[in-house]
Each structure stands twice: as structure tokens, then as C-alpha cells.
Amino acid sequence: MIPVLIIDDDVELTKLLEEYLQGEQFDLSAAHDGPGGLEKALNNTYSVIVLDVMLPGMSGLDVLKQLRQKSSAPVLMLTARGSELDRILGLELGADDYLAKPFNPRELVARLRAILRRTTNSTPSAAMPVHIADLELHPESRSVTCSGKPVTLTGAEFDLLYTFLRSPGKIISREDLTQAALGRPMSPMDRSIDVHVSNLRRKLGTYDGNHERIKAIRGSGYVYLLPGEQP
């Protein structure tokens, strides 16, 4: 059984989910408010934390902010449908993925599996460090340095960067990037990959001041540019 924590104030929903997820080999624990959820998340080891944005007492985004200061446990956010802002904020604060509520529980299971696949398979022992210009990426330690300075990336951001660095200078479609970085196929109207790319841009900075590392190609996807390879 895989330990999963859900922080959601809907007690009946978490009970139903517990029953449903049991059949899918997940052991679901539930917390029904922000502070309680944060405490549980910090004091136990969960493979994934499912976090509702709308929580009484303390907003899910605040929980996420505090959680990220101490823990890098994968977080799947539940947002209200149509609330794009919550999604962007959540992903920016370091959530790994989001799901709009109400959701199909099969979709929830698929997202949980995707996150787990990423976090457990991501230690290919023979993987060689990648070194491109001022950037160094070490797959085995999942660490990145930029001009010698360490860069803190979330799991999704690391996988995204690794995907880019394995084929620099080549256009990679948003579908492929979603599959590689989030471990799941892209769904329609899905903007999470764009938010992750934008976070990555911000964290890595630009080449000598004003040249973007990652360029968007309209209608195609994104490309990681090599220095001097400015269009």
C-alpha cells in the first residue's frame, strides 16, 4: 500500500476516496483543515500529498508555502474549476500537478501514479551528468548548478530541465514535455507545462543578461537554446 495524505475539508468525500483508493492500492489518510494537514504532512512520510486549495482556517496555498519550506514531498493540488489563478499560484509555489475539482477519481489515480512514477523511477544510476554552457545537471543526485551556484528545483521542474538538456536546440512539443516532466499525457486546456517552463526560466535566469534559455515556438512547443544560438 502506498501512503497518501489528503487535506480536504469535505469529510464525506475523503471517506469515499479512502474506500475507492483502497482498491487501487493506496493507503489514504485524511486531514480536514490546513494546520492539521500541515502537521500530519510534516510528521509522517507520504508518497504523495493531495491538497485542496479551498480550506477553512488556512488556505491550501499557505499550507503549500509552509510545507515547501521543510519538505519536498510531491503535492497534487485540487483547485476549483475555472480558477486559473489558484493553479498558477499553486504550481509556482512548488506543487507538482493540479486537478480541477470535481474530478473523476480515475483521473486522480492516474495523476497519483504519474507522480509516483516520476519520483521513484528518477534515479537511473548510470545516468551521466549533463553539462551545457554554465549549467550542470546531476541525474543521480537530482541537483542542478548554474554558474557553479546550486539551483533548487521541484521534481517536475527537474524532469522538465533534464528533458530539455537531453536534446538541446531541438523543438520539443508541449505534449512530449508534459509526458516527460509530469509523467502523464497532456489534457486539453492544460497550461501546467507553461507554468513549469516559466518557473524554470525564472530560476535559471537568462544567458548573459537578456537572452532567454527556453524559447516558445508558437504552435509547436519549446526549445532549449544553446548560448549564441539566438534566433
Partner 1 sequence: MSFRSLFVKIFLCFWLAAGVVIVALNVVLWISTASDPNPERRHGAFGEALNLYAESAVQVYDREGPQAFEQYAGRSRKEAGSEIDLFDGYGHPIAGPSSPDTAAVAGEIQQTQQHVSHLTPLGRLTWGRAVVAPSGKTYIFVTRLRQPYVPRHLPPMGIFLTVIASGIIAYLLARYLTSPVKKLQSAVQSFAEGNLAARVTPELGNRKDELADLGREFDHMAERIEALIDSQKRLLADISHELRSPLARLSVALELARKNSNEKAAPALDRIEKEGDRLNKLVGQLLALTRLESGAEKITPETVVLEDLVQQIIDDANYEAKPQHKEVIATHLEVCRINGSPELLRSAIENVIRNAVRYTPSGGAVEVSLRWKLDTAELTVNDQGPGVPEAELKHIFEPFYRVSEARERSSGGAGLGLSIADRTVKLHGGSIEASNSATGLRVTILLPLAPNHNQHDAGQPQAAFSPASLASG
Residues near partner 1 (CB under 8 A): 10, 12-13, 16-17, 19-20, 23, 54, 80-82, 84-85, 88, 101-106, 174, 186, 188-189, 191, 194-195, 197-198, 210, 212, 215-219, 222
Q: Which is nearer to partner 1, 48 or 88 (CB)?
A: 88
Q: Which is nearer to partner 1, 22 or 167 (CB)?
A: 22
Q: What whole-number distance in Å separates Cα of residue 39 and Cα of residue 67? A: 9
Going by C-alpha positions, the residue among 38, 27, 81 that lies closest to residue 60 is 38
Do 203 and 197 touch, CB atoms closer than 8 A? Answer: no
Would you tell me how many other CB atoms lie within 10 Å of the CB of residue 15?
Answer: 12
Rg (CA), the chain: 18
Give least dist CB 132 to partner 1, A: 20
Give least dist CB 76 to partner 1, A: 15
Give least dist CB 102 to partner 1, A: 4
Q: Which is nearer to partner 1, 73 or 195 (CB)?
A: 195
Q: Is 113 left (phi over 0), alpha (psi -120 to 50) or beta?
A: alpha
Phi, psi of 216 (to 5 degrees): -85, 135
Q: Which is nearer to partner 1, 75 or 197 (CB)?
A: 197
Q: Which of 88-119 are b and which e, b meaning 16 or more Cβ less than 10 Å from the residue's Cβ? A: bbbbbbbbbbbbbbeeeeeebbebbbbbbebb
Give least dist CB 190 to partner 1, A: 8
For residue 227, give every residue at least 6 positions away whose Cβ sits within 8 Å of its Cβ, in sequence order, or none: 133, 134, 207, 208, 211
Going by C-alpha positions, the residue among 76, 124, 128 that lies closest to residue 101 is 76
Give least dist CB 122 to partner 1, A: 25
Give least dist CB 149 to partner 1, A: 24
Give least dist CB 99 to partner 1, A: 11
Q: Which is nearer to partner 1, 81 or 131 (CB)?
A: 81
Q: Which is nearer to partner 1, 73 or 89 (CB)?
A: 89
Tell me, what DSSP letter sits at residue 129? P
Q: Which is nearer to partner 1, 10 or 134 (CB)?
A: 10
